[in-house]
């Protein structure tokens, strides 16, 4: 396996997010230990690791939900801040807002950011088309199926043209069929909008299916154990020998400690 530091992967890419010495302690418990890495502009990055390795803590630091103990996160060279940057977050639980219709859910983030009304409308229309919910624009989330609801959330997050879209096992609670469907959907939207996505999952197959590059975290205190470039053509096949080889390799790397 090649690592990112020394190969053509990073050559033509611009660094979007630079994480330096990211450390997080809860009291005496060291959860994240001096993590260093970068996310490139327009990259689809997956982060995998054993359960309890602090994946969610890691994302929460990135999104500034919880303060870091040490280190810095720079977005476009400036310390990350929800006020300056568009950082979007798709949670494990579906977080569509129950009192807003599909279209108002998509407008939600744009309104919070106080974009001009015309811009809001234009982006909302675009997202409705992209996630294929135009017919359901006036429905409330509880009138939709789980996968449609998660699509609403994804649309809401992509609508703000995020500098960085963080996804914390967004498909963890969906069944396999929906997951496959939404994974393809994510790839399509990501390609269409050229967003930068950091996708956390414990599902190795999912990571290899989606990622351009995979970061493997070690168990607590977490560090980045390895970087794996996934250079397979899309659409990827689960039974492609190269796919299987990568999957086994990553599984081995996660297991071996």
Distance CA 254, CA 244 (A): 15
Q: Binding other proteins by CB under 8 A: which of 93, 175, 192, 248?
A: 93
- In this structure, is the dihedral angle defined by the CA atoms of residues 38, 106, 56 and 215, taken in order, positive or negative? negative
- Confirm or reject binding of residue 147 to other proteins (CB under 8 A): no
- Confirm or reject binding of residue 174 to other proteins (CB under 8 A): no
- Confirm or reject binding of residue 142 to other proteins (CB under 8 A): yes
CA atoms within 13 A on the CB side of 4: 22
- In this structure, is the dihedral angle defined by the CA atoms of residues 142, 122, 180 and 63, taken in order, positive or negative? negative
Integer-rounded Cα radius of gyration of the chain: 18
Shortest approach of other proteins to residue 244 CB, angstroms? 36
Distance CA 192, CA 14 (A): 19
Shortest approach of other proteins to residue 127 CB, angstroms? 14
Size of the site for other proteins (CB under 8 A): 28
- Confirm or reject binding of residue 51 to other proteins (CB under 8 A): no
| 241 three-class SS | helix
- Confirm or reject binding of residue 108 to other proteins (CB under 8 A): yes
Tokens for 206? 């999912």
Shortest approach of other proteins to residue 197 CB, angstroms? 14
Q: Tell me, rounded to whole angstroms, the distance of Cα 25 from its chain centroid.
A: 23
| 4 three-class SS | helix
Shortest approach of other proteins to residue 88 CB, angstroms? 6
- In this structure, is the dihedral angle defined by the CA atoms of residues 53, 57, 63 and 64, taken in order, positive or negative? negative
Q: Which stretch binds other proteins (CB under 8 A): 22-30, 35-43, 48-56, 79-87?
A: 79-87
Shortest approach of other proteins to residue 98 CB, angstroms? 6
Choose between 76 and 226: whose C-beta lies nearer to other proteins: 76
- Residues, the chain, total? 257
Q: Which stretch binds other proteins (CB under 8 A): 22-30, 80-88, 224-232, 242-250?
A: 80-88
- Confirm or reject binding of residue 89 to other proteins (CB under 8 A): yes
Residues that bind other proteins (CB under 8 A): 63, 65, 81-83, 86-89, 91, 93, 95, 97-101, 108-109, 111-113, 140-143, 160, 166
């Amino acid at each position: 396996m090649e690592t990112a530091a020394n190969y053509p992967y990073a050559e033509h890419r611009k660094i979007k997010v630079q994480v330096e010495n990211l450390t997080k302690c809860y009291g005496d418990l060291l959860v994240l230990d001096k993590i260093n890495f970068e996310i490139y502009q327009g990259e689809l990055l997956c982060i995998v690791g054993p359960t309890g390795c602090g994946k969610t803590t890691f994302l929460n630091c990135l999104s500034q939900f919880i303060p870091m103990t040490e280190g810095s996160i720079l977005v476009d060279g400036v310390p990350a801040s929800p006020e300056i940057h568009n950082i979007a977050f798709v949670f494990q639980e579906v977080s569509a807002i129950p009192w807003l219709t599909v279209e108002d859910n998509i407008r939600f983030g744009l309104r919070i950011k106080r974009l001009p009304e015309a811009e809001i409308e234009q982006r909302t229309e675009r997202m409705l088309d992209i996630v294929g919910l135009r017919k359901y624009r006036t429905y409330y989330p509880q009138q939709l199926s789980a996968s449609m609801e998660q699509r609403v959330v994804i649309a809401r997050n992509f609508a703000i043209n995020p500098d960085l879209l963080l996804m914390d096992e967004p498909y963890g609670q969906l069944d396999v069929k929906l997951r496959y469907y939404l994974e393809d959907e994510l790839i399509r939207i990501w390609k269409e909008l050229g967003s930068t996505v950091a996708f956390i999952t414990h599902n190795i197959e999912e990571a290899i299916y989606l990622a351009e590059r995979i970061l493997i975290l070690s168990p607590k205190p977490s560090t980045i154990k390895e970087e794996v470039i996934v250079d397979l053509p899309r659409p990827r096949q689960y039974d492609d020998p190269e796919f299987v080889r990568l999957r086994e390799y990553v599984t081995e790397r996660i297991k071996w400690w």
